[in-house]
């Protein structure tokens, strides 16, 4: 199921997605797993997502935007996240202004190495572009008894590529990842369990979702980093 790193671009082009093990993610980023793990404490300081239309209290997040041109990654002025209803039936059409990713997180060299390396992989698959990058730190918890990583259901994001990285799972069951052909019957389902496992998706080729999580005992949570890469500009202008 895991994609060998040398096969990343071929698999992404042919299957529409690739799944990398943590050691290969670190290798791709040109850093160590310890350096990636230095980012992990920032997930303990995420802000409540106040835009959930299902009334849930289970999602915390931070969000920032960047422009990548080759190996250059520059943070933009803080901006709202926007998706059309065609891609997000639940929260589309809303300008959702979340708290930005903390400055010390963005300043961490592992952050820049990771985002830039994934963008370079996308460029190898699709051709060199300036990428309009949105990075989302998510914590889905079981405050409500159940947490929904993708309350909008199976979806596309309206971008070129989506990277979903598992940062950690604590005291939960569920959270299965499902990837389906956008225009066909085939699909795969699996559960990412090791921190820094990465799913890289061609957003035009596949749709994806993650199933709800439930606590194994009193409380649990699932942390992810979701990075989207889009050619031509950010959604919503």
CA distance 39 to 159: 25
| pTM to 2 decimal places | 0.95
Residue 219's region, left for phi above 0, alpha for psi from -120 to 50, else beta, is: beta
113-155 pLDDT tens trace? 999 999 999 999 998 889 999 999 999 999 888 989 887 778 8
Whether residue 89 has pLDDT greater than 80? no
CATH number at 32-49+58-231? 2.60.120.620
Contact 229, 133 (CB under 8 A): yes
pLDDT of 31 strictly over 70: yes
The confidence band for 182, taking pLDDT boundaries of 50, 70 and 90, is confident
**Strand residues in the chain grouped as ranges (E):** 17-20, 47-48, 59-69, 72-75, 130-141, 161-170, 172-174, 177-181, 187-190, 198-202, 206-210, 213-215, 221-231
Residue boundaries of the structural domains of the chain = 32-49+58-231
Instruction: Note the helical H segments in the chain.
Output: 8-15, 22-29, 33-37, 103-106, 109-126
Which ranges of 38-107 would DSSP assign to H, the alpha helix?
Answer: 103-106
Q: In the Cβ-directed half-sphere of 116, how many Cα atoms lie within 13 Å?
A: 17
pLDDT at residue number 83: 64
Query: Which are the contacts of 47, defined by CB distance < 8 A and separation ≥ 6?
Result: 60, 61, 62, 98, 99
């Amino acid at each position: 199921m895991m994609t060998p790193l040398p096969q990343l671009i071929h698999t992404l082009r042919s299957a529409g997605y690739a799944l990398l093990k943590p050691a290969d993610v670190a290798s791709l980023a040109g850093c160590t797993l310890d350096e990636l793990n230095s980012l992990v404490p920032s997930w303990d300081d995420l802000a409540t997502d106040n835009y959930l239309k299902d009334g849930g209290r289970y999602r915390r997040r931070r969000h920032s935007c960047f422009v990548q041109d080759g190996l250059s990654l520059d943070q933009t002025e803080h901006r709202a996240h926007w998706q059309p209803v065609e891609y997000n039936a639940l929260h589309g059409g809303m300008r959702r202004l979340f708290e930005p990713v903390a400055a010390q997180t963005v300043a961490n060299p592992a952050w820049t190495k990771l985002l830039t390396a994934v963008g370079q992989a996308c460029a190898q698959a699709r051709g060199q572009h300036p990428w309009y990058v949105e990075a989302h730190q998510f914590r889905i918890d079981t405050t409500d008894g159940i947490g929904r990583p993708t309350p909008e259901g199976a979806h596309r994001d309206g971008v070129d590529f989506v990277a979903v990285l598992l940062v950690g799972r604590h005291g939960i069951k569920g959270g299965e990842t499902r990837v389906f052909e956008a225009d066909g019957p085939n699909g795969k389902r699996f559960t990412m369990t090791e921190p820094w496992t990465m799913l890289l998706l061609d957003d035009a080729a596949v749709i994806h979702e993650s199933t709800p999580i439930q606590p194994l005992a009193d409380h649990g949570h699932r942390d992810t980093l979701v990075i989207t890469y889009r050619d031509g500009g950010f959604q919503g202008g």
